[in-house]
Chain A
């Protein structure tokens, strides 16, 4: 099946620094990528949807200046957590999908971010 690679799998950073997470579709072209965040014992929460070459659409309550998303190519999307704070510590997951087929999206392995 299709593979989505997310890197890094774990990152620890200091408060105030920025962290970039990459999401790559390895064997298909993903016109749409999604970024999710999961808090412990909670559901995956959609943060934003990005289409290649256009600005990301953020869900309500997600700060677009804090969570910068770039979808520069059909195989790569990045999420940059800027000026990270301890409350940003979470598990971040990307998924990639091919339009126009709906349904099955392929998920990355996730990134555990810890801000100290």
Chain B
């Protein structure tokens, strides 16, 4: 049972434009969400997080939006750069611990 879903397996965006990656979850107990970036044959690296008490968190070019009622979060990257090309995973965690549930990932390609 996939509790965290990323329905778009891939996304292509022109350099300089905005990239929007989406993530949906089903478990209402999730209260902490993260986005990770992963290059091929490497481990994921942390990008940005948001807790359920907020609806937006911004860090440089990256902004995460959380819509709790819709159980939906999104990652905005603006402006997109070719180096942003990677697979992006969203992950969710419940209060009970550090265990994360990952989405299936969205492969972002930023075209120069």
Q: Is the CB of A107 within 8 A of B43?
A: yes
Q: How far apart are the CA atoms of A110 and B43 in the complex, in Å?
A: 5
In the bound complex, residues from chain A placing their C-beta under 8 Å from that of B43 are: 4, 6, 93, 95, 107-110
Q: Is A104 within 8 A of B99, CB to CB?
A: no
Do B103 and A103 touch across chains, with their CB atoms under 8 A apart?
no
The reply to whether the CB of A26 lies closer than 8 angstroms to some CB of chain B is no
Residue from A104, A105, A106 with most neighbouring chain B CB atoms (10 Å) = A105
| CB within 8 Å of A: which B47-69 residues | 49, 51
How many Å lie between the Cα of A1 and that of B46 in the bound state?
10
By a CB distance below 8 angstroms, the chain A residues around B2 are 43
Asked if A43 meets B105 with Cβ closer than 8 Å, knowing A34-B99, A109-B42, A109-B43, the reply is yes
Which residues on A sit within 8 Å (CB–CB) of B98?
A: 32, 34, 97, 99, 102-103, 105
Chain A: residues with Cβ within 8 Å of the partner, total of 29
- Looking at chain A's contact residues, is the secondary structure mostly helix, strand, loop, or mixed? strand
Question: With A103-B34, A105-B100 in contact, do A44 and B93 touch (Cβ < 8 Å)?
Answer: no
- The residues in B between 19 and 43 inclusive whose CB is less than 8 angstroms from any CB of A are 32, 34, 36, 41-43
Pick from B4, B44, B103: contact of A93, CB under 8 Å? B44
Q: Are B42 and A110 in contact (CB under 8 A)?
A: yes
**Chain B residues engaging chain A, CB cutoff 8 angstroms:** 2, 4, 9, 32, 34, 36, 41-46, 49, 51, 89, 93, 95, 97-105
Interface residues of A (CB under 8 A from B): 1, 4, 6, 9, 32, 34, 36, 41-46, 49, 91, 93, 95, 97, 99, 102-110, 112
18 more A-B residue pairs beyond the given contacts A43-B103, A44-B89, A102-B97, with a C-beta to C-beta distance below 8 A = A6-B43, A9-B41, A32-B97, A41-B9, A41-B104, A43-B2, A43-B4, A43-B89, A46-B100, A93-B43, A99-B97, A102-B93, A102-B95, A103-B34, A104-B46, A104-B49, A106-B46, A107-B36
